Amino acid sequence: MSRRLVVVIVAGFLIGALAGAAALVLNKGHETPGVATTGRALVGGPFTLVDQTGKTVTERDFRGRFMLVFFGFTHCPDICPAELQVIAASLEALGPAAKKVVPVFITVDPERDTPEVMADYIKNIGDEFVGLTGSPEQIAAVAKAYRVVYAKFQEKDSATDYSVDHSALVYLMSPDGDYITHLPYGTSAEKMAETLRRYL
């Protein structure tokens, strides 16, 4: 794992930890005098993207179901396929309750990850997965909303090929689209399923 990738992952953990801490404080009703709070962590929000079938979708299309949201890209050699398999295994462990959850894979590499590419990629992971892409501007906006860090960099021995470092958190969002919690990279399928059961 490159030093750059380690830095990005650590940054993602810190962002996630801060978001989780904010959610914990807000949910306990602690308020600073003179400061109005909504009781919600500032993770997630409106987006307009394109799914693997070419259909334009927004966050409203997922209302009524929990969302497990993961950001990555199809050329990712290790972290993304491993994490998506963990998500798939955790949903399998839930049994029928998994129907309450939609796993959403959002690319951070929209130049290469077209709807067709996303469709080919996620069909090897699970039929229940939704793959989302969009313009670079749309991806930047949704990544910002989810506090996701990502950066393109040139491969060392190639003048044309590139990779993308990115944070690797899985976000659990409520049926109303609100942030509930996140799971860091390396969480086992069993632990992820156990966490999901607490909220379903």
Which residues, in sequence order, are bridge partners of residue 56? 50
CATH of 3-199, one of 3.30.450.40, 3.40.50.300, 1.10.260.40, 3.40.30.10: 3.40.30.10
Could you tell me which of 108, 124, 115 has the C-alpha nearest to residue 73? 108
pLDDT in tens, 69-111: 999 999 999 999 999 999 999 999 999 999 999 999 999 999 9
Paired sense of beta strands 48-51 and 130-133, if any: antiparallel
Q: Structural domain boundaries of the chain? A: 3-199
Q: In whole angstroms, what is the distance from residue 31 CA to residue 19 CA?
A: 16
Please, are residues 143 and 108 in contact by the beta-carbon 8 Å criterion?
Answer: yes
Q: What phi and psi, each to the nearest 5 degrees, are found at residue 111?
A: -65, -40
Span 55-59, mean pLDDT?
Answer: 97
pLDDT tens per residue across span 15-39: 444 444 444 333 444 344 444 445 5
pLDDT at 45 over 60: yes
What are the beta bridge partners of residue 130?
104
Model confidence, pTM:
0.79
With bands split at pLDDT 50, 70 and 90, how would you rate the model's confidence at 154? Answer: confident
Top pLDDT among 5 and 163 is at 163
Q: What b/e sequence results for 64-92 when a residue is b if at least 16 CB atoms lie within 10 Å of its CB, and e otherwise?
A: eebbbbbbbbbbbeebbeebbebbbebbe
pLDDT score recorded for residue 39: 58
Ramachandran angles phi, psi of 127, nearest 5°: -65, -25
pLDDT of residue 94: 96
